[in-house]
Amino acid sequence: MLRVYNAPVSTSDPVIQTRGLTKRFGRLTAVDSLDFHVQAGTTYGLLGPNGSGKTTLIRLLLGIVPPTSGEAYVLGRRIPNREVCSQIGYMPQAIALYEDLTVRENVRFYAHLMGAFSQAQVDEVIKLVDLADRVSDLVSTLSGGLKRRASLACALVHRPKLLFLDEPTVGVDPQLRVQFWDHFKALNGQGVTILVSTHVMDEAERCDRLGLLQNGRLLAEGSAEELKRQTTRTTLEDAFLHYANGMATS
């Protein structure tokens, strides 16, 4: 049930819930009357072609852009809400790091910003993304994949309850990608909720629930197994092509 007041939520309440959430940019409807929810301690994967509304949806849930209509509730609060920010980690699709600061300085900065500075947490998260040997390097001198690792460190450093990860593994090498996902699943085990967008099907397989967006609408929703079963396809990629092509491939 949607909460319409700022009271703490019980663990059974969805961590994210939207009702008729819509965002228009001029004549373009990027997110179209979206109703969906994400349960605590799970990973929800957003899939969909370029321009289908994944990033816009995440930005709406963060309160970075206002909806045209409809509403979103995150961690029991109607968005926008400043108080929930410190409980949220966000790894944007476009890397937002200070190029003229070192890796360590960037992570410290985000930790301070979230009101949770602890050297142990900074060290832990830098180790997690395997950047300990580059910690004193300026971000401007890092490769694209290394910058993404630093960006993930910034998103995780304050131990958020809810993580928004917008294509977190683009440009990250396969070995580290597996480590990232192992960590995401470990975070779920600690009760952390994750909303992640991806174009990578083996990552989608690791999500508890998937939503396929097209033109800002949810075409299909369910676990990877459910979506494959419903479409009688053996791979998730084929299942999504089936939905995206309007069931024309059956």
Ligand X SMILES: Nc1ncnc2c1ncn2[C@@H]1O[C@H](COP(=O)(O)OP(=O)(O)OP(=O)(O)O)[C@@H](O)[C@H]1O
Q: Which residues here bind Mg ion, judged by CB under 5 A?
A: 54-55, 93
Q: Which does 147 bind (CB under 5 to 8 A by kind): ligand X, Mg ion, none?
A: none
Q: What is the DSSP string of 177-242?
A: HHHHHHHHHHHHHTT-EEEEE-S-HHHHTTSSEEEEEETTEEEEEE-HHHHHHHHT-SSHHHHHHH
CB of 50 to ligand X, least distance (A): 3
- Tokens 């609408």 sit at which residue? 217
Nearer to ligand X, 47 or 122 (CB): 47
Q: Which does 50 bind (CB under 5 to 8 A by kind): ligand X, Mg ion, none?
A: ligand X
H-helix segments, the chain: 54-62, 103-113, 119-128, 144-156, 174-189, 201-204, 224-231, 236-244
Q: Judged by CB under 6 A, which of 10, 12, 50, 250 binds ligand X?
A: 50
Nearer to ligand X, 144 or 191 (CB): 144
Residue 137's identity, in one-letter code, is D
Q: Is 54 in the site for ligand X (CB under 6 A)?
A: yes
CB of 105 to Mg ion, least distance (A): 27
Q: Judged by CB under 6 A, which of 52, 151, 193, 198 binds ligand X?
A: 52
Q: Is 148 in the site for ligand X (CB under 6 A)?
A: no
As a whole number of angstroms, the distance between CA 128 and CA 120 comes to 12
- Tokens 């309007």 sit at which residue? 246
Site for ligand X in 71-110 (CB under 6 A): 93
